[in-house]
Amino acid sequence: MVNLLNLDQQGLIDFFSSFGEKPFRATQIMQWVHQQGLLEFDAMTNLSKGLRQHLKEIACFSLPEVKRHQISQDGTQKWLLQLDSENSIETVFIPEDDRGTLCVSSQVGCALNCHFCATGYQGFNRNLTVAEIIAQVWLARHRLCPNQTISNIVMMGMGEPLTNFDNVVTAMKLMRDDFAYGISWRRLTLSTVGIVPAIKRLREECPVSIAVSLHAPTDELRDQLLPINKKYPLHQLMSACRAYTQGKPSRHITFEYVMLKDINDSPAEAYALVKLLKNIPAKINLIPFNPFPSCPYQRATSESINRFRDILTQAKLVTVTRKTRGDEIDAACGQLAGKVLDRRRKQ
């Protein structure tokens, strides 16, 4: 059986063409599934009875099971989704007065081992399929209250999206498609620690907004916090970021910077960051660290965060201190873990 949630518009066109159906069947299916929320072929009344019967024999819509739904005091919601007998992921919805942001996972765990991230501590099991990625959007959209809408989607959940490139891009094309979710590229953001070749490829294939998990202004410090920096050091990453915005005057790169006490929060690091981001259209998100068990780091003080921010703003860098949301249900930045196999049992 073909899980049709794995297919974007072109994939559905190819699927229907394989047994002689017209291309417009693709958009009909997309509207029923992604806009109306229907997963039963018999309910798709603009399909002929014969086609509906044939689809029931060869295709399906398979969704993860919602195992737990939590709502924090600030309205943040988190779903634990069971993918199979051994793997789960987490998806988070963050409501604001002027928008609603869905944080979507791309992998079960993460292989990049960033030292301040709960997901990295869990190890890596596998990539998500297109269906498992887009199902997070489908489930959230059709489980939120009528007055809650998803205006923004961020690929900032569990995993490194650019190491699951093909599936993530296909899912983002569905997110952007007007026959599915209609999210503009300005409101669709992919977060990456800096997989340089994939950033270059993304610019050509699906130029959404990107957020770079930077967290340090020097190679020496970034090597300690994000081991991937040893493979793609800062000069390569900054070059890729400049290229990503080239020819797009309205586009900027968001740089994520987790504030760790006595690690990366001094004025010296702030001035080094100003120098590093010179000539890059940049916005900086300062993220108060969200602790989790077994992690040795502490959150930087409010005083040091404010001092850091002031140095950046005085250098005319657009800088925002991110509000911590959903931390009491472990839904805040860096806290997502889900349930994955302990990597130590694989050795």
Catalytic residues: 90, 333
Give ∠ CA 266-272-276 in degrees, rounded to 5: 145
**CB of 270 within 8 A of CB of 259?**
no
**CA end-to-end span of the chain, whole Å?**
34
How far, in Å, CA of 347 to CA of 340, rounded?
Answer: 15
Contact 221, 233 (CB under 8 A): no
Task: Indicate the SS3 state at residue 259.
Answer: strand
CA gap 314, 311 in Å, rounded: 5
Round the CA-based radius of gyration of the chain to a whole number and report it: 21
Burial level of 323, CB count in 10 A (0-12/13-18/19+)? exposed
37 φ, ψ (degrees, to nearest 5)? 80, 15
Q: In this structure, are residues 82 and 69 in contact, taking their beta carbons and an 8 Å threshold? A: no
Q: How many CB atoms lie within 10 A of CB 63?
A: 17
Residue with tokens 């400049």: 242
